[in-house]
A and B are shown apart, each in its own frame.
Chain A
Amino acid sequence: MSEFGAWLTSGRFEDPSLPELLESAKSLLADPSFSHVSEWKGAHGGRAIGCFPVFAPFELIHAAGMLPVSVYGAGSTIEIDHADSRMQSFVCSISRSTLELGLTGRLAPFDGFVFTSICDVARNLSGVFQRNFPNLMVEYLHMPQNTASGAVVDYGEAEFRRLLARLETLAGRKVSPSEIARSIALYNAGRRLMRDLYALRREAPWLVPTHELYLLNRAGGVLPKEMHIAMLRAALKSFKRREAKPRDSVKVVLEGSFCEQPPVELLKTLEEAGLAFLDDDFFLGHRWFQEDVPVDGNPVRALAESYLRTKVTSAVRWSGSKVDGLIRKVKESKADGVVFCAAKFCEPALYDYVPYKEALEKAKIPYLAIEFEEKMTAFENVRTQAETFVESVLFA
């Protein structure tokens, strides 16, 4: 049994030990073979669907009795032996490591995989998956982008229904609207807890260090939602009880890590250097809806409508000026500055950076730009960069 499984069966939700909880979350991320997915399938007899970042309609997968699992690359858990010959040197690490997971059989616990229109690489990777893994149900969702159009909700609903039909074929049964509504309600509860955690961190970042929140967040991508909710409840309780003193730090919003994920050590380094994060875009797809998705009426349409209407600013969805969205985020959280934390070769993040930094300069908001790779292991340069930034803000 995995470390996390052991923690779960220990029945200690009500009296959690935070270090234990974080360790179990960490153990999930350190396992590139997804043994917890196999365990879940063994116990439930259901199917598992991998979801490439950023967003996926997890509720539809859940309602079909399947386990949605966010596959955010392999971090530094595996060596790349095969995918290098399939992905040119100028392509991001997450696409390479995700392909490597497949080429080395580590995606065997999965029955399907969902990609969305976040960038050209992710989209084309869906085609590469279709060719290389014919046993997987690989679906590419073209997420609606013209949020201003009167036709966009109809289209969004049709696209979600297209996925639902494929899930139904895989499941061998129809999925009822009430099942979808129940799944939405469950995910709403998870997102509410996550919003509570983010709100607590904004108020008191010393109680909720980002390198810890990040682990809880990531665990949510792979655990069954019911379990993740238990985990978040326990964590929220622990954070609130924590006895920690406010630190003198530079408060920032982090932007650019919505797909490939930085190693947790990077975040720890940044925090040690004197930064406190009040907002970020890690796992944005799991926190996409800023309000509950309605569960009455047509739940598939409600999902599509909420996806489009939520006020989230994201590199992967167009909704007018993103610059305004970022500045609003900084002002609302009362942050001192912005840290751009983009994965190497991540085009959406690297493009957005330029208009963003132009606007920040105009608004006299300080910023720091760093580039990372999921498999990086040396953090001293980043530490120096961050320390210099912190000093420049504190002693400006």
Chain B
Amino acid sequence: MALAQSQQFKHQGAGRDLQKDLLGKYYTDLSTANERGQPVAYLFVPGNVVELLRVFDFAVVYPEINALQCGIKKVAGPNILKAEDFGYSSDVCGYVKNDIGLFLSDRQSPFGKLPKPDLLVCNYSGCNTFIKWFEALAEFTGAEMFLLDIPYLREDEVRAEDRDYIVRQLEELAAVCSRISGKPFDREKLRRVVELSAQAEDSWSQILHMARLRPAPFDAYFEAVFFMAPMNVLRGTEDCVRYNEAVLREMLERVEHRIGPVPEEKVRVVFEGPPPWPHFRAFWELFKKWGVASVASTYAKVGGIFEYGFRHDPHHPLESIADYAMSCYTNLHWGLRRDLIQRYVKDFGADALVIHSVKSCRSFSVGQADLREVFSHELGVPTLMVESDLADPRYFQEAQLRNRVDAFFESLEHQRLTKGA
């Protein structure tokens, strides 16, 4: 049954409507932060330490979120061109160029004017480009930069030395935040913020697990990347908890009425890689037409992997922030990425793996061809790998992509028929 906007449903559309309100308010608040004298910190989504910043009442700006919003609103292209005119190579990340383009446009975005930063918190979980990005912003804006060094998860578990290094840096960051904001480091408040994060993580995890059901009540790639926005922007607030609970109710209702993302679920896939934001709808349509439902995705784990038990811990706030920063998807070494995808395929009953390789992000893309080898040849999971970009609209070749997607799902369908499945 297709997702219908009928009176009989109490909760459908709640996630969309509430998100519109919350993010609208978030951007309105940002646009006046400088005037109101609220300190402003920029930080990255993966493995971020927003809980610590909330203790000092920073307004937080996520340049990646701005970049994806610009992508969806079709202004990333012009922003990128501005940055290229300024000297950035056509071969570097579109997110960075979008942000530089915004900076060159006096920080005017389609969602209001972005505040100038007082502090650049370069939490770099698995993306070296983050350092380059904030180094440039530090040069161009004169803002203070704190390089929060998050060791890559290069063994199977977080090493004690790594955790200790991060915790000590967090203490140092707290001192910087205190100096800039003029507020003391209130550890009790940190515990409360961390508790709110953990609550939101509980309901988010419940939502994600519901994609195990048949049919999956939502698309764990194309819809999850929408529903996850408050987890990435508002984590550590009451609003985020309230939002996730609303989405959870919406999903429970979908399950009750067997509503899914496609009229008839024919193929269940795990998705790896970021989506092409400037052509999000067109890309989704390529899959929808084959009755594809994504049941798990790695991109929705950039802001943390919560389905398998990790929670921020109010009893050990800094340690859990450190563990969180090290364990988000972008910070996992190749073998751990493979293991996670394999687990998803099994736990969520997927029939295939789809890899979207994006030029902008070598952190995601280098090693994906080896993932394809492992899944298609060694594990017997049919795997499709397609290429475009997450921000730069020039790299989206729709006809070519359609051919690849059609050929893949046609052959999958054929295999099923011949196997009598």
Whether B124 and A131, one on each chain, are in contact in the complex, defined by CB atoms closer than 8 angstroms, is no
Interface window among B27-35, B157-165, B254-262, B263-271 = B157-165
Given the complex of chains A and B, what is the CA–CA distance between A286 and B333 in angstroms? 27
Binding site for B on A (CB under 8 A): 85-88, 90-91, 95, 117-121, 123-128, 130-132, 140, 142, 144-146, 148-152, 154-155, 158-159, 162, 318, 321-323, 344-345, 347-348, 350-355, 357-359
Q: Please, how many residues of chain B have a CB less than 8 angstroms from a CB on the other chain? A: 54
Whether A322 and B362, one on each chain, are in contact in the complex, defined by CB atoms closer than 8 angstroms, is no
Contact A355/B135 with A86-B369, A91-B362, A128-B366 known, Cβ cut-off 8 Å: yes
A162 partner residues in chain B, CB cutoff 8 A:
159
Taking the closest CB of chain A, its distance from the CB of B166, in whole angstroms, is 9
Given the complex of chains A and B, what is the CA–CA distance between A344 and B96 in angstroms? 18
Given A90-B362, A124-B363, 19 additional A-B pairs, CB 8 A = A88-B365, A90-B365, A117-B152, A120-B361, A127-B367, A128-B334, A128-B366, A145-B124, A149-B149, A151-B165, A155-B151, A158-B165, A347-B132, A350-B89, A350-B91, A351-B88, A355-B135, A357-B87, A358-B87
Given the complex of chains A and B, what is the CA–CA distance between A142 and B359 in angstroms? 24
Interface window among B38-46, B136-144, B289-297, B302-310 = B136-144
Taking the closest CB of chain A, its distance from the CB of B87, in whole angstroms, is 4
Interface check B131, CB cutoff 8 A: yes
Whether A348 and B132, one on each chain, are in contact in the complex, defined by CB atoms closer than 8 angstroms, is yes
Partner of B128, one of A119, A131, A158, A353: A119
Taking the closest CB of chain A, its distance from the CB of B356, in whole angstroms, is 12
Whether A354 and B86, one on each chain, are in contact in the complex, defined by CB atoms closer than 8 angstroms, is yes
Interface check B169, CB cutoff 8 A: yes
Contact A155/B162 with A95-B366, A140-B152 known, Cβ cut-off 8 Å: yes
Interface check B92, CB cutoff 8 A: yes
Partner of B147, one of A126, A142, A148, A347: A148
Partner of B172, one of A90, A126, A150: A150
> Within residues 59 to 88 of chain B, which ones have a CB less than 8 A from any CB in chain A?
86-88
Whether A146 and B128, one on each chain, are in contact in the complex, defined by CB atoms closer than 8 angstroms, is no
Whether B139 and A120, one on each chain, are in contact in the complex, defined by CB atoms closer than 8 angstroms, is no
Binding site for A on B (CB under 8 A): 86-89, 91-93, 96, 100, 124, 126-129, 131-133, 135-136, 138-140, 147-149, 151-152, 154, 159, 161-162, 164-165, 168-169, 172, 333-335, 337, 357, 359, 361-363, 365-370, 373-374, 387
Given the complex of chains A and B, what is the CA–CA distance between A347 and B127 in angstroms? 12
A-B contact pairs, 14 of them (CB 8 A): A87-B369, A90-B359, A90-B362, A121-B366, A123-B128, A126-B333, A128-B370, A142-B151, A142-B154, A145-B131, A151-B164, A151-B168, A155-B162, A347-B91
Query: Across the two chains, which residue of chain B brings its CB closest to A148?
Result: B147
Contact A158/B161 with A128-B334, A145-B124, A146-B149 known, Cβ cut-off 8 Å: yes
Whether A140 and B333, one on each chain, are in contact in the complex, defined by CB atoms closer than 8 angstroms, is yes
A87 partner residues in chain B, CB cutoff 8 A:
366, 369
Partner of B87, one of A126, A159, A318, A354: A354
Whether B334 and A131, one on each chain, are in contact in the complex, defined by CB atoms closer than 8 angstroms, is yes
Whether A154 and B161, one on each chain, are in contact in the complex, defined by CB atoms closer than 8 angstroms, is yes
Given the complex of chains A and B, what is the CA–CA distance between A118 and B362 in angstroms? 13
Q: Is the interface of A mostly helix, strand, loop or mixed?
A: helix
Taking the closest CB of chain A, its distance from the CB of B372, in whole angstroms, is 9
Whether A350 and B88, one on each chain, are in contact in the complex, defined by CB atoms closer than 8 angstroms, is yes
Whether B127 and A146, one on each chain, are in contact in the complex, defined by CB atoms closer than 8 angstroms, is no
Whether A125 and B128, one on each chain, are in contact in the complex, defined by CB atoms closer than 8 angstroms, is no
Whether B367 and A124, one on each chain, are in contact in the complex, defined by CB atoms closer than 8 angstroms, is yes
Given the complex of chains A and B, what is the CA–CA distance between A353 and B87 in angstroms? 8
7 closest Cβ pairs, A-B complex: A127-B334, A351-B132, A151-B168, A124-B366, A158-B161, A155-B165, A146-B149
B138 partner residues in chain A, CB cutoff 8 A:
321
B162 partner residues in chain A, CB cutoff 8 A:
155
Query: Across the two chains, which residue of chain B brings its CB closest to A350?
Result: B89
Taking the closest CB of chain A, its distance from the CB of B28, in whole angstroms, is 32
Whether A347 and B92, one on each chain, are in contact in the complex, defined by CB atoms closer than 8 angstroms, is yes
Whether A146 and B370, one on each chain, are in contact in the complex, defined by CB atoms closer than 8 angstroms, is no
| Residue of B86, B164, B370 most packed against chain A (CB within 10 A) | B370
Query: Across the two chains, which residue of chain A brings its CB closest to B385?
Result: A88
Taking the closest CB of chain A, its distance from the CB of B14, in whole angstroms, is 38
Whether A146 and B169, one on each chain, are in contact in the complex, defined by CB atoms closer than 8 angstroms, is yes
Given the complex of chains A and B, what is the CA–CA distance between A95 and B161 in angstroms? 30
Whether A131 and B374, one on each chain, are in contact in the complex, defined by CB atoms closer than 8 angstroms, is yes
Partner of B367, one of A128, A158, A352, A354: A128
B93 partner residues in chain A, CB cutoff 8 A:
347
A90 partner residues in chain B, CB cutoff 8 A:
91, 359, 362, 365
A353 partner residues in chain B, CB cutoff 8 A:
87, 89
B169 partner residues in chain A, CB cutoff 8 A:
146, 149, 151
A159 partner residues in chain B, CB cutoff 8 A:
151, 161
Contact A124/B362 with A149-B172, A152-B149, A351-B92 known, Cβ cut-off 8 Å: yes
| Residue of A132, A145, A162 most packed against chain B (CB within 10 A) | A145
A154 partner residues in chain B, CB cutoff 8 A:
161, 164-165
Query: Across the two chains, which residue of chain A brings its CB closest to B161?
Result: A158
Whether B128 and A359, one on each chain, are in contact in the complex, defined by CB atoms closer than 8 angstroms, is no
Whether B135 and A318, one on each chain, are in contact in the complex, defined by CB atoms closer than 8 angstroms, is yes
Given the complex of chains A and B, what is the CA–CA distance between A117 and B331 in angstroms? 12
A350 partner residues in chain B, CB cutoff 8 A:
88-89, 91-92
B131 partner residues in chain A, CB cutoff 8 A:
145, 318
Query: Across the two chains, which residue of chain B brings its CB closest to A357?
Result: B87
Given the complex of chains A and B, what is the CA–CA distance between A119 and B96 in angstroms? 15
B135 partner residues in chain A, CB cutoff 8 A:
318, 322, 351-352, 355
B87 partner residues in chain A, CB cutoff 8 A:
353-354, 357-358
